[in-house]
Chain A
């Protein structure tokens, strides 16, 4: 956390957790099955919850406790639960349509992570310790990987998860570099996530009824 001095074990823990967060986003990039994506997302949100909680306890910031538990409920329980139920209900067994094949996806993910490190280093290195640079670079790389998931996968569920990964990245970034962010902002963002996911799921149900699939490859009529 920027602006706080923490004991050593926090630094070690923070490093491990953000490394696992990055790993979970690479799990998403390297899998072909939708349920993998959802579980990886839930796991990632859970890691972010632990990190937020530990940082909140250590800095004695009550707002962070609240945000952490709301993250647990919304990001790592409610949203994956809704998505998994949706999959069960429609009995989806189809694979994710890949625009870019898995090996190339992983290499692109690596390049995006390196780019995020570069960008963060340029931006905040004058005034922040290395541990914060590390965590915030990984947060920024989540944003990029989310965008990459949206453009390279052709299923509505992965589009939704792409947006959710972007939001996770922004949330992690805000916890690490601006821990004093007003709590109302985090609350509204969580509310927004719930509303957006619900709206997008309703839309994709309409799509399933109309086109018989969750694949977005057939959405190519509106051009010009």
Chain B
């Protein structure tokens, strides 16, 4: 097992370094694609082991992988693979269109694999302080990906990103140190001298309640900055819109989940210590506010990629609301929503990447009639948006339905009404915007050539869409058992 985990982590590292040293473009593309495929394969194996062997605990419990970690690793693996597949098409077009230099190209693959590596490590780590530092490293690796094309705007986005998230993470670090203090108060009978979540979880009742109360708020603010919970979300639309499309999808679909994982570990510890009412209330309030911010951003949006960035904020709000409502339905729904979001968001970002290359603009008003110009992209893009916002035959419909059901079950009728109206607002405005992009009247711009880009530009959109729709009809028993298992980990 040890050797397997080490190999699993060395593969992306090897891919990143070798593609940087051997400055051959085709080699960099294929070694990275191979590495991402192996990571996805490895993620499935880890998932299999964590289900059949219960919890993997190696290196003196420095690395602990339970079902929840394995699930997050799987989501990261899926998005890593899809993004790498799309990167080949995207970066080739970027080299042709936007005079991307060779240096920038090599830097892109170096940091892309490192970014994936840091995200794959994060859910494995047992010590929460080291987990936070790893999250900080994901910030740095992805900040260099945001400036893959060095422009004034991308530098602004990267600067905001690194500044806001670093200060957020330091608040979370303060929270972690307070958690340590809460178990180490002089004179108390049961000292909990550890920052490992396994130890904290087992001895949660011995922690000092007042300090845990304060520390959990710090954690939610700190890691919430990374998750994009409002009002700490301000870096998110900028970084997502200025990064290259494959990076936007990795940021949105896997990085946010990795940070959400940390919040949920603390959520569990705090819940065991103070009763689940306290953390749940915080998550519900912040979740609702985040959905509101996301929807308002969607309604007023003029740029394609910012549109989907705000949609990510909205989805993170739904996920934290689902965890906050608690219960089996709410938690299950939130986990399923994570899965649906991770599969649907890459489709949208890859689609807007294709649009960006075709129309050379991100302005929604200038992109019209994609259906006549790029039929395949337009088809996948419009089905993808339906899957994203939760139209019936898709996973997101089931998950949002479960969350609404849980809020009804708890008797929170006002929350249900607010949630449903916000979801409808998001539904209508996203559909209207995508409708005008796809079916709007064709512009008179003669410079735009008809026809799709190559095979690799839409294959990464087909795969997740197929999975989303199939799972909408039928959730296999394995996935159901896995998610139920994680639900018990979180709320017990």
Contacts and interface: CB of A to CB of B under 8 A. Distances in A.
A196 interface: yes
A147 B166 CA distance: 11
Contacts of A150: 163, 167
B152 interface: yes
Contacts of B173: 170, 189
A180 B193 contact: yes
Nearest to B169: A192
Given A219-B156, A221-B156, A222-B156, A163 B129 contact: no
A143 interface: yes
Interface stretch (A63-71, A103-111, A206-214): A206-214
Nearest to B153: A221
B429 to A, nearest CB: 14
Interface in B161-206: 162-163, 166-167, 170-171, 173-174, 177-178, 180-181, 184-188, 193-195
B174 A170 contact: yes
A57 interface: no
B155 A210 contact: yes
B210 A219 contact: no
A2 interface: yes
Interface string A190-224: 01100110011001101100110000100101101
A196 B130 contact: no
Interface in A130-167: 143, 146-147, 150, 156, 159, 162-163, 166-167
Nearest to B156: A219
Contacts of B100: none
A174 B177 contact: yes
Interface string A169-188: 01001100110111011001
Contacts of B238: 222
Contact of A210 (B143, B150, B177): B150
B52 interface: no
A188 B375 CA distance: 50
Contacts, number: 125
A25 to B, nearest CB: 15
Nearest to A202: B144
B157 interface: yes
Interface residues of B, number: 53
A210 B306 contact: no
Contacts of A181: 177, 180, 195
A123 interface: yes
B313 to A, nearest CB: 13
B300 A185 contact: no
A124 B182 CA distance: 10
B167 to A, nearest CB: 6
B193 A200 contact: no
A200 B188 CA distance: 42
A99 interface: no
Given A185-B130, A210-B150, A127 B186 contact: yes
Nearest to A220: B156
B265 interface: no
B127 A184 contact: yes
B302 A203 contact: no
A210 B158 contact: no
A190 B97 CA distance: 42
Interface stretch (B133-141, B248-256, B318-326, B339-347): B133-141
Contact of A224 (B143, B147, B195, B300): B300
B151 interface: yes
17 contacts: A123-B210, A127-B186, A170-B170, A170-B173, A170-B174, A178-B177, A178-B180, A178-B181, A182-B127, A189-B173, A191-B133, A203-B143, A206-B147, A207-B159, A221-B156, A222-B156, A222-B157
Interface of A: 2-3, 123-124, 127-128, 143, 146-147, 150, 156, 159, 162-163, 166-167, 170, 173-174, 177-178, 180-182, 184-185, 188-189, 191-192, 195-196, 199-200, 203-204, 206-207, 210-211, 216, 219, 221-222, 224
Given A127-B186, A128-B186, A196-B162, 12 more contacts: A123-B210, A124-B211, A163-B166, A174-B177, A177-B177, A178-B180, A181-B177, A188-B130, A206-B155, A221-B156, A222-B237, A224-B237
Closest CB pairs A-B (n = 10): A3-B186, A219-B156, A185-B129, A222-B238, A199-B140, A188-B133, A166-B170, A192-B133, A174-B177, A210-B152
